Structure 1
Amino acid sequence: MTERLIRTSYVDPTVNPPEPRQGDTGLHESRQDQEGYFGPLHRMHGSALHGWGVAAGLQVSATIGRPGLRVLPGVALDVRGRLLPLAVGGHVKPDEDTLIPVTETGVPLQTAVASGEYHLTIGWAETFDFTGVGSGVFNTETTPTLRLRQVNAPDDGEEVILAWVEIGADGVVVNTSADQRRTTGLSTDRITLLGSFDSFDAEPGTAVTVFDQQAAELRAFNTGGVILEASRVDITARSASSFLIVNPVARRMGVNTTVPGATLDVDGTTVLRGGVGIGTRNPQATLDVLGSTVLQRPPGPDPTVPQSTLDVRGFAQVRGFLGIGSASMPTTSLDVNGGAFIRGRVGVGRGGPRALVHAVDQGGFEAEDGEGKLTTSNIPLLAEARTDGQTAIGALNSNGRPAFALSIDEDGGTNNARGVPAFWDKYDGNWHLAFGIKNGNLAVGHRNPGARLHVVGGPTVNDVAVQVETQQAVGIWTFSEGGGIPLIIGGKPNAAWISGNVDVRGTLTKTDLRFKIDHPLDPAGRYLSHSGVESDEMKNVYDGEVVLDDRGAAEITLPDWFEALNERFRYQLTPIGAPAPNLYVASELSGNAFAVAGGEPGLKVCWQVTGVRHDAYALANPLVVETAKEAAEHGTYLHPEPHGAPAERALRWMPPLARQADQPPGT
């Protein structure tokens, strides 16, 4: 704030040389000196050189849970540079019509306001003393205002905030804070930093105060530089937590930690662009340690609980060998004797791992020695069990219980005996073999496959070996182009149970054809079975009924595809209700129709027509009634037992596979 300065000149510059003016000073001159010079000079001095805030004292005290505040004597400076003294013997104005004297214990202030958050402020005001007017004395006293105002009022320095106060029901003080209280002050040879202190969130019944005291002092050093004296130094960004903390009393400095636990305590990644020497003043590398380095487990209340011995939260590079947990010299880049606890992701062979463990290598087994044992490889992940049949890889469920195991069995210790991988599943308290791989074949439910996929079901009638389910797609597709048999099904007493429609796109060869239904007279208790009609030709049978007209004749019309499908027709006529010795086929099939005649008018006749297929597929695949068995089939039977031959003479019979008894994996 800048003001114009005008004062009375007590030297007459109109004479030469200038002379002091004679006579008494007039009232208007004294008024001009006070209002045009000394007042503005005083205000500009305060506002320009000191700023605004609490200069000294003005401590605010209260008791949590009780009404009322108390402000001790002191002085503040507002934004216009006006001093706001709360002096013993003086007065303050809590409102426009009230004056309260200031004592050595300060000024009490009532808190009979609506509950909420307030700022206790001190502002500039003057009061004229009418008591001296009769004696010709005209005095005006500076009587600052003290009031509780809403916290949303602008903090522009017209009023200086002394404390933040939360008022509850019945005017009791709930909480206090030094929020937005600011101080001002300046010493000629040093800078004194005053801090505002409070007892925020105190318990009910606790006496609390809001006050200022010296927090630090910055002064010039006699040989140059500055000295900062403080019990603690915090360096922070705006609206952020402390970044750098220096504790001269404990001789500790913390970076990104509020409680440094050592001379230098850094929480986070540290980049040292030069060399760091431990035990040497002339480091030859980024980190040069002269002497042994021992990392010990920190003491803890429970020695069984893992404690961090080496905690690297940023990046670390070890150019030689690093041994952890072993008194002997390390034999690899990282030699760990004991457990290792890694909190983040680990990348092996790559940076930026995408999982807790992410291993990358070229892949492939590289070299074996004369005994067939691996010497080098580029396998990202390699597991080995030292004992044959023991678990090489295991998995736990989310509750820490064993659920899955991979073992390598039947390792004969030779080049050709590489072992059989067996995968185990644990349920009902026991390990059960899920599947194994042997000689390129997959065995499900056992470990000795006789085919590329060999599935063995469970021991009970409710165990299903293979279950295939699909909504719209194909469940199983078997196909062979080289003359093989895509599907062989065998079993006793049933080989297959098919529920639904079956579409055969080719020749269906069978030993017997029959149907089996629930018996119409006793569907819940019996079955009814019929055999199908057999023929040495690809024959179709059609029948029906017709009533003769008044001429004793009738024409029977068949579907329009009839003659395209059939040839070599045979006819049979049967009269119903009376003999018809003259009944005959008047005209054979032509145009998909034939005619009968020779009967009595109104006679009912049953007719039957057979035909032999001559469609394109039937002509291309004619039925061969008798064929000789191929050389490999001589001496075999489709059904050997009815012919008195042993079961081993059955065509395409395969001996049962000798299955090895399965054992659970070792622990």
Structure 2
Amino acid sequence: MALIALCGAVSAPAAAQVSVGTGFSYQGFLRLEGDLVNGATDLRFRLFDSDVGGSQVSASVDIHDHPVANGVFTAYLDFGASPWNGHARWLDIQVRPGDAVGAYHQLTPRQLITAAPLALYALNAASLWEQVGSGIANANNGFVGINRSNPIDATEYFGVQIPATGSNFGGMYVRATSSDARPYYGYSTNTRTALTYLNGANGDWRVRVGTSDRLTISDAGNVGIGTTNPQSILHVQGNGGALGLWGSGAAPGVVPMLHFRNGLTFNDWVLRHEESSFHIATETSGNEKLTITDFGRVGIGTNAPNAKLHVINATAETVIHAATTGLGPAGVFNIASTSNANAALSATTIGPGPAIIGDTGADGSNDYIPGVAGITTGNNGIGVFGYTTGVGGAAVGVLGRTDGQGWAGFFEGNVGVAGTMAANTKQFVIDHPAKPAEAYLVHGCVESDDYRNLYDGVVTLDGEGRAVVDLPPWFEVLNADFRYQLTAVGAAMPGLHVANEIKQARFTIAGGAPGARVSWQVTGRRIDPAATAARFDVVRPKTPAERGRYLNPELYDRPESERLLRSGPPRREPTAGR
């Protein structure tokens, strides 16, 4: 028996929606000693990895009593998937008569299995697909597409195009057969892994980085970042030193914000970060309630704080209320740098209420219980600083007031005033020199309708009854419009007079008794720049806002509501022991 002719192996045609499988059809032509073979014939097919010798790569396929007509036979062969790994294969054929039970007759040569058209579609000449265990792998370094052949860009290696139209869905599912399974789609580099998966047990969708779940969307719609059990629509939980929430604008000028809405009629709340400041507001723009700048300044009621804490109040409410039930201070504002000239606390109000209230609210035997204390340790520091830009009579930088016998303001030490000091009355009060432990000595001040300086002294007349009185060299720079008074000491001197008025800081007395003593007094009106710049009208009309109000309404039997300086802390009603 001799094998005369062979047709190429061809994969079996696939029916619509049916898997192709691993079998294929093989057709051959047999002659026996020149005659065509007819009748039943036993066929044995084997696969080898070489045309001569080599190794058999699969189990044999034996077909018994296979019909052969006029030398032609067609056999369906299925060696399974394992032999087809992209390497060349040769078909070895043995035959014997169908009614024989002896050995098979070996046909030569072995036939090279060539790729059929369907096989070329699945496994091309470049051997891009190969079997690895029970799976297949693609060694292609380029793009792999399903229903399309071109990548969207050079970075795409796998793509799917769906034939969906309109707004219809289309895509891909990773499906598990168990209801509690966790199907996932993963990502991996040489050192890191990440994946997204569905927790079939509870319906959560999660993002896992490495071995930790970082993002969770629950079956109820809650989103958890840093937690796998979100308790609200957005639940952010920082881990260790990690930030809880981070917002960033997509481009320069884009303001990142976090918007809160309660679903009722109340104002929305917005957290907003601009170029150099962070804001908490009740609307998307404006109406800031709290501002923190990149310089660490905090503004309440202002979006441009110019101090570490800058509070502005436009209502009658108290700006700052600090209270403590313990033994420590309710608040401490301290400047520790000797070169820092800024205020440690700045409080401003444009309403009728006070910016700061200092009130101890306590009685006792302590010498001092300050409501507000300003302390500085710097050589040029300022413990308390008051400042006003107002021009009205009620504009006050610092206001002190008392309801009783206490002091509205009390200074221990030197006091300097660079400007005009106005008062109803002026006194000096000292411990009485004769009985300092029992009484004070009180004197009033001499008043005038202008700024005046008074100088006096006692001079002894010469043998001609004359004397020259020398004054300081700056006397005429400081004073003008001089007034003189001479008083004879010991006896009357009817001719006593000023012979020469002040010139070059001296004047001359004459007409007295030789060797007698004279008491003199000179008064001058100040003409220095400070006094000239602060000239005043002796009678000054009250402004329209001041009319009907009084510095001391109680002296004119007027109510307290007509007091001129009404700003500052509200008056306290007298209580027992105060």
TM bucket, shorter chain: 0.3 to 0.5
TM-score (norm 1): 0.39
